[in-house]
Amino acid sequence: MFSINYRDPRPIYEQVKDSLRRAIITGVINADEKVPSVRDLAGQLAINPNTIQKAYRELETEGYIYSVPGKGSFVGECGEAFEARKAELYGHLDTTVTDIMHLGVTQDEICGHIRNFRSREDRE
């Protein structure tokens, strides 16, 4: 479920955060289910526990997970977090599509690119 790509220009904590967020959004991990402990995940990925802690802290701030002292971190009820994230991403998408269309790319070309992207994602 979690992997680190050292060629990815994003910081490792963002990769961890995105992997966990994706697992939550796609239902791989459900509401109130325990997520791996900071130490376990750090050991599994061979990275500093502080890196995992930073990712978890940000996910908690965003409403994706919550902590129970002495018990660990769990997936939250993410309805509001999902809607906020969706709105944020749609804003980015609107800007990107507008920029691409200003370059003369057609709607059909954009849709074709999205279909190709989805096809690649499904294979991975």
Mean pLDDT of 24-45: 92
- For tokens 């499904």, the residue is 122
pLDDT score recorded for residue 79: 66
- Predicted pLDDT at 27: 83
- Please report how many Cα atoms fall inside a 13 Å half-sphere around the Cα of residue 49, on the Cβ side: 6
Which band of pLDDT confidence, cut at 50, 70 and 90, is reported for residue 124? Answer: low
pLDDT tens-digit map of 88-108: 889 999 999 999 999 999 999
CA–CA separation, 39 and 19 (whole Å): 17
Name the strand (E) or helix (H) holding 29: none
DSSP state at residue 34: B
Would you say residue 123 has pLDDT above 80?
A: no
Q: Tens digit of pLDDT for each residue in 35-87?
A: 999 999 999 999 999 999 999 999 999 889 999 999 999 999 876 777 777 88
Q: What is the pTM of this model?
A: 0.69
Is residue 35 a contact partner of residue 29, using CB atoms and an 8 Å limit?
yes
**Residue carrying the six token digits 């526990």:** 49
* pLDDT the model gives residue 83: 77
CA distance 55 to 88: 19
Beta carbons within 8 Å of 20's beta carbon, 6+ residues apart: 2, 29, 35, 55, 59, 64, 65
- In this predicted structure, what is the pLDDT of residue 105? 94
